[in-house]
């Protein structure tokens, strides 16, 4: 049997049926109020039959932290019933349901925000064309956002989720506080790498405490996702990340989730450093805390090879969109039938919401799409 099909028991007692997680991928398909839609529920239902754990798309913890149109909301109590429906849809198919919580920070589009003004650790714009300069958060606002992460986690508990994943990756607010590019503060929230860790660690502690106060079962999972490096100068280095993950491993978290596009890829800052970022993380903290690897693992052989690094979990994102039955096909000995690329005619068959499908077909290189390959060959 493939190792990734083996069950796993976390240190807190949570049992999962296999080592495959659905990676958190934005699908742009909630309604304007942040409520899940039937199309979105169908998407999750289809992918919850094989994966042992489903991590939802990121859900914003404040109205000012919304980063995408059609985003799941977890920022107010009136969304409890919507969140409950999402959790139960996933669980009814046999997977554990984990909701990812985050704040978009300077990456939030102004037109999605109540006051049209993105905020961040400092008033430094992202390095991209047309980027808006955010407003620097005040001490009072920082405290409010930390509290909001805890309140979001409590909503997840009330909704019946099996866990939450704190989104400290992909250039959003938590990462913005950790990054020397976006954080130029001179107070206690900025400066040295230890001071830039202060906000991520404050969020972790708030979530841990809030989940306990909400009366969550002791098996409730709390994970943390991070990006190992940044391209920007100054930017997050692997040395910075080693300090962060060693500190995170001391907290009562249940797993760390590495965010990279390719499991085997080396450094984005130093082309001579070709070693897998995931393998480096696993070697550093894997004996202290479970590590989730991810990135371009389209075939069972690729997934099996990735597990040889020692990581106990693999997150599949694009792979489970290309083939929602990826896990079931491995289980039933139909590996040869696994799809590794899309056709633009596949949306309904693959149960992909229209907004996500539009993003896929209009973003060459993001997914392996047969038509994109043909055009590039021509």
172 is catalytic: yes
Non-local CB neighbours of 97 within 8 Å, separated by 6+ positions? 48, 54, 56, 86, 87, 88, 90, 91, 160, 161, 162, 163
Q: Residue 196: which of 270, 126, 120 has the closest Cα?
A: 120
Q: Render 212-227 in DSSP notation, one character per residue.
A: HHTT--TT-EEEEEE-
Q: CA-CA distance, 143 to 359, in Å (whole number)?
A: 35
Q: Residue 167: which of 135, 196, 207 has the closest Cα?
A: 207
315 sits in which H/E element:
strand 313-316
Q: Render 324-362 in DSSP notation, one character per residue.
A: TTHHHHHHTT-GGG---SB-TT-HHHHT--HHHHHHHHT
Q: CA-CA distance, 356 to 40, in Å (whole number)?
A: 10
* DSSP single-letter state for residue 254: S
Q: CA-CA distance, 216 to 156, in Å (whole number)?
A: 10
Half-sphere exposure of residue 258, counting CA atoms within 13 Å on the CB side?
Answer: 34
The most distant pair of C-alpha atoms in the chain lies apart, rounded to whole Å, by 60
| Residue of 43, 172, 255, 298 marked active site | 172
Residue with tokens 């001179």: 186
Q: CA-CA distance, 103 to 168, in Å (whole number)?
A: 9
**Six-digit token string for 250:** 């001391």
Q: CA-CA distance, 39 to 200, in Å (whole number)?
A: 33
Half-sphere exposure of residue 8, counting CA atoms within 13 Å on the CB side?
Answer: 24
Do 360 and 369 contact (CB within 8 A), yes or no?
yes
- Which residues are tagged catalytic? 172
């Amino acid at each position: 049997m493939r190792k990734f099909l083996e069950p796993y028991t976390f240190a807190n007692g949570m049992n999962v049926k296999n080592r495959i997680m659905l990676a958190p991928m934005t699908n742009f398909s909630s309604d304007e109020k942040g409520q899940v839609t039937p199309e979105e529920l169908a998407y999750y239902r289809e992918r919850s039959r094989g994966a042992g754990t489903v991590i939802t798309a990121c859900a914003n913890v404040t109205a000012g932290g919304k980063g995408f149109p059609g985003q799941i909301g977890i920022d107010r109590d009136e969304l409890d019933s919507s969140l409950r429906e999402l959790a139960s849809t996933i669980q009814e198919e046999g997977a554990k349901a984990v909701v990812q919580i985050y704040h978009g920070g300077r990456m939030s589009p102004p037109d999605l925000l109540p006051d049209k003004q993105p905020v961040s650790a400092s008033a430094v714009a992202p390095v991209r064309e047309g980027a808006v300069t955010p407003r620097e958060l005040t001490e009072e606002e920082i405290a409010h956002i930390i509290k909001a992460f805890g309140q979001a986690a409590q909503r997840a508990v009330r909704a019946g989720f099996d866990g939450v994943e704190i989104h400290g990756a992909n250039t959003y607010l938590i990462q913005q506080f950790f990054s020397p590019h976006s954080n130029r503060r001179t107070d206690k929230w900025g400066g040295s790498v230890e001071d830039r860790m202060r906000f991520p660690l404050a969020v972790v502690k708030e979530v841990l405490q809030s989940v306990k106060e909400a009366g969550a079962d002791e098996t409730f999972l709390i994970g943390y996702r991070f990006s190992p490096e940044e391209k920007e100068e100054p930017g997050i280095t692997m040395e910075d990340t080693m300090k962060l993950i060693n500190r995170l491993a001391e907290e009562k978290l249940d797993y760390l989730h590495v965010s990279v596009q390719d499991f085997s890829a080396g450094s984005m800052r130093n082309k001579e450093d070709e070693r897998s970022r995931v393998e480096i993380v696993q070697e550093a903290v894997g004996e202290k805390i479970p590590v989730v690897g991810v990135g371009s693992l389209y075939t069972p052989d690729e997934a099996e090879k990735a597990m040889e690094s020692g990581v106990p979990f693999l997150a599949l994102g694009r792979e489970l969109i290309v083939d929602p039955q990826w896990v079931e096909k491995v289980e039933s000995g139909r590996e040869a039938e696994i799809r590794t690329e899309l056709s633009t005619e596949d949306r309904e068959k693959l149960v992909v919401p229209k907004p996500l499908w539009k993003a896929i077909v209009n973003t060459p290189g993001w997914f392996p799409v047969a038509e994109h390959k043909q055009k590039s060959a021509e």
